[in-house]
Every structure is written in structure tokens, then in C-alpha cells.
Amino acid sequence: MKIVVASDIHGSAWACRELLVAFDREKAGRLLLLGDILYHGPRNDLPRDYAPKEVLAMLNARKEKLLCVRGNCDTEVDQMVLEFPILADYAILPFSKGLVYATHGHHFSPRHFPPFCEGDVLLYGHTHIWQAERVEGHLCLNPGSVAIPKGGNPPTYGVLEEEVFSVRTLDGAAVGQIALG
């Protein structure tokens, strides 16, 4: 199944709309959100078109397609208005060579790996910088941020399909890719 992966919307209605356009264009089966959905957090400037109520309405309309993990800016108050679960710290996705451990990245990251078996993959957000590389023998994947990209990057999202992870700009142009095996 093709999965679009995004992180760090931070309440940007513009970024959420563009992400959903990309999701539709990709014809993916699911949209996996790696946290920080509605709130921009005290360390970030307000993102473009900051409108958390618009974001929650757009995402609630797609709730049957969403998988989500909790980011450091997501709270129980957010869960009260979102109609899909957001408070899990991680999700596990199987693939042929192991497991994809999906998390926000504020607890587990390339600096602090979760308990891994050989071949497992870390999929995380939080840094707002895309990544598709091996770190200390572990595959580390980060889709970047659709709303507040850092490190001179454009807004990006990821696609998991047939054991390949690609990072794409919101218009669909590939900026990085790596095989999961």
C-alpha cells in the first residue's frame, strides 16, 4: 500500500490544503501524520495561514484515511476536536525486511534510537529537515515539514511505496529517495 507521510503541519491551513492535494495526486491508501498538527509551538513563528480550526476540519473530513502519532505540540485538548486518534507515541508498520517505527522524533531519533532489530527503520519528524539515509547502520527517514521547513529546504512530504521512501516537494518533485532494504 502506498502511504503519504507528513509531519509538522503546525496549524497551517495552506500547508494542510497543499498536502491534501498532494495526497490525492499520489493516490495513496493512507496519510500518516508524524505529529505537531494544530499548534505552532513556542519555538516556531506562526506558519503561513495559521488557522488550526480549518486544519482540523480538513483532516476530520479525511479521518478514515489517517494514521497519526503524537508530536510534542499535540495535546489532549487537540484530541477533543480531532475525530481520529493522535495521542499514540509511535506506530509500527511491517514491511518484508522488518518494521518501520514511526514516531514524532522528540523522544526517539537518530541520536536516540528505539529498541531495534536488524533491518528495522526509524521514520520520524520534529526536525523540519528531510532525511533519507543510514545512521549508525539504521535507516532513518524524515519527510521534513510541510509548513515550517528548516535548513533551507522547501516544504516536503514523504511517500512509502514498495519498500522505497521518497521525499517530495508539495508539487510532487522528488528531492530524495532510498530503498528500505
Range of the structural domain that residue 33 is part of:
3-179
* Percent helix, strand and coil across the chain, each to the nearest 5: 20, 30, 50
By three-state DSSP, how is residue 20 classified? helix
pLDDT given at position 107:
96
By three-state DSSP, how is residue 5 classified? strand
Number of structural domains found in the chain: 1
pLDDT given at position 166:
98
d(CA 35, CA 46): 17
d(CA 176, CA 143): 10
Domain containing 151 — which CATH number?
Answer: 3.60.21.10
Partners of residue 100 on adjacent β-strands: 93, 121
What is the phi/psi pair of residue 13, to 5°? -65, -40
Distances (CA, A) of 4 to 29, 43, 63: 8, 26, 14
Note down pLDDT in tens along the chain; length 181 residues: 999 999 999 999 999 999 999 999 999 999 999 999 999 888 888 999 999 999 999 999 999 999 999 999 999 999 999 999 999 999 999 887 889 999 999 999 999 999 988 889 999 999 999 999 999 889 999 999 999 999 999 999 999 998 899 999 999 999 999 999 7
| Pairing of β 30-33 and β 3-6 | parallel
